[in-house]
Amino acid sequence: MIRARAIIVQQKTGRPVQFELLTDARASLLAWLERRGGTLADYVFPSRVNRADHLSTRQYARLVDKWVNGVGLRREEYGTHSLRRTRASIIYKATGNLRAIQILLGHTKTENTVRYLGVDVEDALKLAEGTGI
């Protein structure tokens, strides 16, 4: 069984970040492992070079580039980093909870999260108007 929550250690900061794996994602991961003959003890995406190691970040970036091209999107607008930002942006727009996004992204400073999401004065004003205060 695949856990509902996982923790990764960010390569850049060395800090652990916890994230949730939704039901559909867990089902997809199980199906993928079954299809390729893997077990829960294996890396989900093994290296092309050494099956005992994980997929490199560079190879992941190449795959994302290929997928983006394959569906007709512009490579300049979509990449590994924009995929990371997308979920955080969706949660922020739905909740306005900047602190939650900061925790999810593993940022130590709220200022980094604000800059990362591109939160501006217009966003702040919309949030203030929506409170009814």
CB count in 10 Å sphere of residue 103:
13
Q: How far apart are CA 127 and CA 115, in angstroms?
A: 17
Asked if pLDDT for residue 61 goes beyond 80, the answer is yes
pLDDT, tens only, 63-109: 999 999 999 998 888 888 787 788 888 888 888 888 888 888 888 88
pLDDT band for position 14 (cuts 50, 70, 90):
confident
The answer to whether 75 touches 65, Cβ cutoff 8 Å, is yes
